[in-house]
Amino acid sequence: MNQNPSSDHHEVLIIGAGAAGISVAARLLDADTPPRVTLLDPATRHYYQPLWTLVGAGVVPKEESMREMAELIPWGAQWIQDTAVRFDPHANVVLTEGGRTLTYDYLVVCPGLQINWEAVPGLQEALGTGGVCSNYDYEESEYTWTALQEVARKPGPIRALFTQPAGAFKCGGAPQKIMYLVADHLRLKGRLKDAEVHFFHPGTIIFGVPQFARTLNQVIERYGIQTHFGHELVEVRPEAREAVFRITGEDGETVERVEAFDFLHVTPPQGPPDVVRQSDLADRESGWVEVDPHTLRHPRFPNVFSLGDVSGSPNAKTGAAIRKQAPVVAENLLAVRAGRSLDPAVRYDGYASCPLITGYGKLVLAEFDYDNEPAPSFPFDTSQERYSMWVLKKDVLPRMYWHGMLKGRA
C-alpha cells in the first residue's frame, strides 16, 4: 500500500456498486436535498446474476446479464474505481488498495459476499472441464450449458450431481433451479430414463416455507430426483470424476461418501468478504455486517448502514430482498442526516423472493418474510407452477432491474 496516501472526505460513502449500492445511491440523489454520494467499487462491469441460471440452461446468452459499470453509475454520484482494504468505523475512515484514505459522514456497506471456491479442494482446477460447472460465475455459467448438452448426448447411463453448501449463500433456490432445468432438458431429449439425478444438501429440508416445499417435493418426485440431506461437498476429484461428501449424523459423527459423476453442478461455499469479516463492523460470530434487522442501521456505529448480501440481517440473500432494503436504508440515512428520529413505519420486514424454476416454462414464485411466512405480491397462488411466472423471471424482472431498481424507481 502507498505509504503516503491522498486524503479526501465524502458525505455518503457507499462501498460496492452492485444492485444494493447503485439502488441506494439513486434514491439518495433523488431526494429533495440530496447528499453528495460516492461509490467505491473497482469493477468495470455490472452483472444481473439471476439470469445465470437461464444461461446455464441455454435459454439466454450470458451477455444479456452484463452492462458496463460506467453506464449505470447514477448521474451526480462520484465513482472511485478502487477496493476497500480496511474499515476504521471509530475514525470514519476507509483505506483503499490504491492507497487512498477516504473519510465520511455516513457509510453504506454493500460490497456483496465472497465466493470461496478454494474451500473445496479440487473445485477450482476442475471448473469448466469434465462436466464440472457452476452458475455462480459469469463465464462458467456458459459452460453449464455446454456440459449439459454433452451429457445429454452421452451414450449409456448418466449420473448428474447437484450440491448446496453449508451456511448462507446468494439465492438459496439456485442449486435447485438448475437441477430441475437439467432434469427437464434430459426429459425433452428422451434421456431422463437413463439418468440418476442426485441433490446433496447439508440441511434437513428442501425449502423453509412449507407451502412451497410441498410443490418442490412433487417436482422432485416427477423427475425421480434422489435427495440426500446432511451431505456437504468437501472435495472434487476431476481426474477420477468423483465428488466427496461429508455426512453428519444426528450424533454429530461424520463420515465421507464418494460419488461418481458425469455432470456436477456446484454451488460453492460463500461468506462475508475478508475485509468486512476482519473489521469492527462485523458481528464477531458470523462475520457479516452487524445491523438492526428492521432499520438496517449498525447498532454500534449510528452513521453506518448495510444491506444486500453482506448484511447480517437474517433474510434470504436475494436481489428481491435488496429491492425492499434500498428504500429503507435511503430514507433512514436521510432522516439521520436531517437530525430526525427514524420513522417507525420505515422498516424492512425480511421480505425475500425466490423465483424457483421447476422446468422450461414453469416457475414457482416463493415470496416470504423473516418468519418464513408467505408474502405474496400477486392475487393468486404462486406456490403452483406457472408459465406466467416463468415470463416474469425471464423477461419482466430483468427489465425492472435495469430500468427501475437501479434507477431508484422500483
| Helices marked H in 44-167 | 52-56, 69-72, 123-126, 138-153
- For strand 158-163 and strand 195-201, is the pairing parallel, antiparallel, or unpaired? parallel
Are residues 12 and 84 both part of a single domain?
A: yes
Residue 7's pLDDT is 54
Residue 251's pLDDT is 82
Active site residue 110: no
In a domain, 215, yes or no: yes
Instruction: Kindly provide the residue ranges of all beta strands, DSSP E only, lying in 25-183, ordered along the sequence.
Output: 37-40, 45-47, 66-68, 78-80, 84-88, 93-96, 101-109, 114-115, 132-133, 158-163
Are residues 128 and 255 both part of a single domain?
A: yes
Q: How many domains does the chain have?
A: 2
In a domain, 105, yes or no: yes
Give the sheet arrangement for strand 158-163, strand by strand.
132-133, 263-265, 158-163, 195-201, 226-229
Residue 270's pLDDT is 98
Are residues 295 and 308 both part of a single domain?
A: yes
pLDDT exceeds 50 at position 5: no
pLDDT exceeds 70 at position 3: no
Are residues 280 and 334 both part of a single domain?
A: yes
In a domain, 396, yes or no: no
In a domain, 205, yes or no: yes
In a domain, 386, yes or no: no
User: Could you read off the pLDDT of 77-131 as tens digits, one per residue?
Assistant: 999 999 999 999 999 999 999 999 999 999 999 999 999 999 999 999 999 999 9
Are residues 21 and 82 both part of a single domain?
A: yes
**How far, in whole angstroms, is CA 397 from its chain's centroid?**
16
Are residues 109 and 203 both part of a single domain?
A: no
In a domain, 75, yes or no: yes
In a domain, 27, yes or no: yes
**CATH number, position 196:** 3.50.50.60
Take residue 330 and report the three cell numbers written for it. Answer: 435511503
pLDDT exceeds 70 at position 188: yes
In percent, the amount of the chain with pLDDT more than 90 equals 97
Are residues 217 and 296 both part of a single domain?
A: no
Length of the chain: 410
Are residues 168 and 80 both part of a single domain?
A: no
Sign of CA dihedral 166, 169, 173, 178: negative
Q: Which of 224, 246, 269 is the last residue of a domain?
A: 269
Are residues 192 and 89 both part of a single domain?
A: no
User: Could you read off the pLDDT of 29-53 as tens digits, one per residue?
Assistant: 999 999 999 999 999 999 999 999 9
Q: What is the mean pLDDT of residues 322-326?
A: 98
Are residues 128 and 102 both part of a single domain?
A: no
Domain hosting 303: range is 7-113+272-349+402-407
Are residues 185 and 262 both part of a single domain?
A: yes
Residue 249's pLDDT is 80
pLDDT exceeds 50 at position 2: no
Are residues 206 and 336 both part of a single domain?
A: no
Residue 331's pLDDT is 98
Residue tagged active-site, from 25, 321, 354, 397: 354
Write down the mean pLDDT value for the chain.
Answer: 96
Q: Which of 240, 269, 298 is the last residue of a domain?
A: 269
- Assess contact for 379 and 75: CB atoms under 8 A: no
Q: What is the mean pLDDT of residues 59-64?
A: 98
In a domain, 86, yes or no: yes
Residue tagged active-site, from 15, 37, 109, 171: 171
Take residue 76 and report the three cell numbers written for it. Answer: 451526480
Tell me the whole-structure pTM to 2 decimals.
0.95
Q: Which of 269, 295, 329 is the last residue of a domain?
A: 269
Residue 370's pLDDT is 97
pLDDT exceeds 70 at position 393: yes
For residue 192, what pLDDT band results from cuts at 50, 70 and 90? very high
For residue 248, what pLDDT band results from cuts at 50, 70 and 90? confident
Q: How far apart are CA 60 and CA 113, in angstroms?
A: 25
Could you tell me which residues are beta bridge partners of residue 79?
A: 39
Q: How far apart are CA 147 and CA 131, in angstroms?
A: 5
